[in-house]
Structure 1
Amino acid sequence: MNSAPTLVLVMGVSGSGKSHIGKRLAEATDADFIDADDHHSPTSIAKMSRGEPLNDGDREGWLETLAGFLRNHASRGRSLVIGCSALKRRYRDTLRGGAPDLKILYLHGSRELLLSRLRARQGHFFQGDHMLDSQLRDLEPPDEDEAIRLDISLSPEEIVSTFIERLGA
């Protein structure tokens, strides 16, 4: 990557591998990594733990916090990768408010693969098939001109290397 800071959003529904891929991408590009889930309010975490989907109001302050991280890193000349669902275009627009040159990696896959990954997770607050279905209903997939789209059936190594390759193109 070039010497200017690179600001990246790794997005997708739960189970798509945002955290895993985001950490690998951050390591490969000498960037910091932030898992957006670590910045949900206790109220939102409790809501999701009960199997209740978040609404736009629940996400508003959370997205502004994440946009602040992007702004802060950009002002310090430091690269950052954020793993965040960013399901709707307006959520991504809020994040772009902190980083107009935000690069987006959209991880997508079949419902079956996503469910199998979610069922294998231990100790995460995101619970239940209906929560995944809610995210899939809310998802506004980014257009090809907004994001680099990669299928989660690829290996993590392939996803990271392909994304880096396409960023340089």
Structure 2
Amino acid sequence: MKNIFRLIGILAILGATSFYIWKSDNKETSTLEKVEKITTASILNKEIKPIFHEVKTLARLEFFKIDAMINKKFLLLYFHTNSCYYCEKMKNITFADSRVQKELKTNYIVVSVNYSKFKQSFKKQFPLGGTPAIFFFDKEGKQITDENFYGYQSAEDFYNKIERLAKVEKPTK
């Protein structure tokens, strides 16, 4: 009789443990699925990501401004930092969006600055309040200050913004 109670006790403990592990695995899977979606979007779009020209100096930025003017394109200046969650989100979700990539490749020269590394070179001309920060320049190389923004934007919102800007022949400053 004692053996039967021991067996029932052991089975109850095993059942409870199995249920707990199963329930924990389901929670981890849902978190894992979220991470997988971000990673998968990033991996799938890797081949068509826009070319970010990483710049370290104002002189190099000026080179790309001139390149944009010669090619009659807008210049998008993207500031990010090493420890910025929303910078990574912009890079891996917003910039990975195929519509965003197509619009950027068609109408923009995209320049990226790692503000963690090159703050000293840019802080006088671009004193940032935070990152990510995006500045737009028209086809004549003039900054479109009304369109600058800080923080994360979804792919949809960002696409609407860059598409609208590209349709304007001579943007309002």
Higher share of residues assigned helix: 2
- Structure with higher Rg: it is 2
Mark yes or no: TM-score above 0.5.
no
Q: What TM-score comes out, normalization by structure 2 length?
A: 0.32
Q: What TM-score comes out, normalization by structure 1 length?
A: 0.33
